[in-house]
Amino acid sequence: MLENFTFYLSMVLLITFLIILSKKIQIAYPILLVIAGLAVSFIPGIPSIKIEPEIIFVIFLPPLLYEAAWSSSWKELWRWRRIIFSFAFVVVFFTALSIAIFANYFIPGFSLVLGFLLGGIISPSDAVSAGAILKTLKVPKRFTSILEGESLLNDASSLIIFRFALIAAATGQFIWLDAAGSFIWMCIGGASFGVAIGYVFLKMHKFLPTDANTDLLLSLVAPFAMYLGAEEIHASGVLAVVCGGLFLSYRNHDFLSSSSRLRAITVWESFCFLLNGIVFLLIGLDLPEIVSGLGDTNIFSAIGYGFAVTGVLVLVRILSAYGAVLTTLVMRNFITVADPVAPDWKSPLLLGWAGMRGVLSLAAALSIPLTLSDGSPFPQRNLILFITFTVIILTLLVQGFTLPFLLKRFPLEDRDFTKTERETDHELRSALAKIAIDKLNTDFPEKIAKFPALKEQMDIWERRFNSSEIIINYPEYLKIYSEILAEQRNFLVSKNKEELLLDEEIIKKHLRLLDLQEEKLKLSL
């Protein structure tokens, strides 16, 4: 590994530059990273890259799922729980079934079991790709919430299908009663174990004398403890991480200080940003390994199968989206649904089109054993791997490039939030200012005149409460404030250089305060 260290370091730099470029040209970074990986794989002398499925499942998957669960809105997940669960479980099973039937009829040598194996591998959508695209576009909150919620759960359901199909393909036996019991245990056991471990970590944060650094270390350990522990008891590690992450995220203000939360957000975002960049680049870099594994299989036939399976996959997802709408229209006559108003034809189409595939599918395919228990080669392993690779590339590139155009061409109406972000922001600022004014006048009236700084802050709150406009959002005001902060920062840096006996830690503290003010300014946009 050390002999290729320079190559790995250059790949990290390449990821950094490509992410910067993606922001500049307004293209989702997963697309550029996959293309770059494909291009680099053709360079002579490049070290052979092989994705180890254990690394993806154990090193990459737990922190990525944990960060996604931590940043998700529990309120939004609960509101759209029916459609999220239907996409994460029902649609995943229906997709796997459709792929199984198609592969059995149209791909030579594929049985229904092998078709289910392929379906379980490629059925989960990847939210990182869709999320990277949606960040640059204005879409309703419900659209992103459904995609995020689905991606948190469909990894678990697809891996469960994959495991059962793998056992059936390897042993030639499939007992429905045992499978049903295992499925229930993997779901309930995984979710319960994740919440239990989350509760243990909550108590550790709360009662141990931790600070921001130790809180961060505990948060880095938590997803691995949830995942590995659940896998040890043969439950779903994915569901354990998701449920444990959601539990801790919902309760984070009960056990984390403000400094711990700020540091955790910064570190986790950077950490997972790098992990996502690595896995998408690895997809492209793994091309030579995938192609070499085909052996005597005709590559053009394999590409054709990949295109056909991708077409079935996309069609099934779009039809499932319309099916979910139809089900909602029927069920609203019997139960209270999240939105009784029927969506237009655009929402299901765009929701279906946003189902790109990612590295989890490739890792699952790579984890198929080379041989069966009797020593014979695992049937169609190489072709399954190549089809999976083709599906990932096609969905990332074709759907990834066209989704922004479709979202702009067919904009979605936001029926949930009638007020603009600026109006809501102003209302909250005014409400917070009123709370502060009432608190001072009620509990500390004699202190207002005694402390000039407190009086000045009182005046600020009163102006904010009485203001009818959102001054903080005016571009000219922001520009002036930014220039003032830059001037203050230059003063501190110069003073630190000029006065040798000035404690640099104090300068750094004031520089951090200026950084916090600047971040607060950005959040006000």
Query: How many Å apart are CA 186 and CA 153, to the nearest integer?
Result: 13
To the nearest 10 degrees (0 to 180), the angle between helices 258-285 and 381-394 is 120
Q: Which residues contact 122 (CB under 8 A, 6 or more apart)?
A: 95, 99, 309, 313, 357, 361, 387, 388, 391
**In the CATH scheme, what is the code of domain 2-409?**
1.20.1530.20
Q: Which residues contact 303 (CB under 8 A, 6 or more apart)?
A: 390
| Res 117: pLDDT | 92
| Res 435: pLDDT | 81
| Res 428: pLDDT | 67
Per the DSSP assignment, residues forming a β-bridge with 213 are none
Read off the tokens for 285.
């870099």
51 half-sphere exposure, CB direction, 13 A CA radius: 31
pTM for this predicted structure = 0.83
If DSSP codes are grouped into helix, strand and coil, which group holds residue 377?
Answer: strand
Per the DSSP assignment, residues forming a β-bridge with 377 are 371
In the block, which residue shows the tokens 């709360």? 206
| Res 333: pLDDT | 66
Q: Please, what's the b/e burial string for 239-271 (b: 16 or more CB within 10 A of its CB; e: otherwise)?
A: bbbbbbbbbbbbebeebbeeebeebbeeebeee
Q: Please, are residues 327 and 87 in contact by the beta-carbon 8 Å criterion? A: no
Q: Which residues contact 142 (CB under 8 A, 6 or more apart)?
A: 76, 80, 339, 414, 416
Query: How many Å apart are CA 238 and CA 57, to the nearest integer?
Result: 9
The ranges assigned to domains in the chain are 2-409, 421-523
| Res 242: pLDDT | 92
Query: How many Å apart are CA 133 and CA 355, to the nearest integer?
Result: 12
Q: Which residues contact 253 (CB under 8 A, 6 or more apart)?
A: 261
| Res 455: pLDDT | 76
Read off the tokens for 392.
């990932």
Query: How many Å apart are CA 183 and CA 180, to the nearest integer?
Result: 5
Tens digit of pLDDT at every position of the chain (525 positions): 566 778 888 888 998 898 889 888 888 888 888 888 888 888 887 777 777 788 888 888 899 889 988 888 888 888 888 888 888 888 899 999 999 999 999 998 888 999 999 999 999 888 677 777 777 777 888 888 888 888 888 888 888 888 888 888 877 766 666 777 888 898 899 999 999 999 999 999 988 998 889 999 999 999 999 999 999 998 999 899 999 999 998 888 888 887 788 888 889 988 888 888 888 888 888 878 788 777 667 888 889 999 999 999 999 999 988 887 777 767 666 666 666 666 677 888 888 898 888 878 888 888 888 887 777 888 888 899 999 989 999 998 898 889 888 888 888 877 766 666 666 667 767 777 788 778 878 878 777 777 777 777 777 777 766 665 544 455 666 677 677 778 888 888 887 787 776 677 777 778 877 777 777 766 655
DSSP letters, 423-480, are HHHHHHHHHHHHHHHHHHHHH-HHHHHH-HHHHHHHHHHHHHHH-SS-GGG-HHHHHH
Read off the tokens for 379.
């049937």
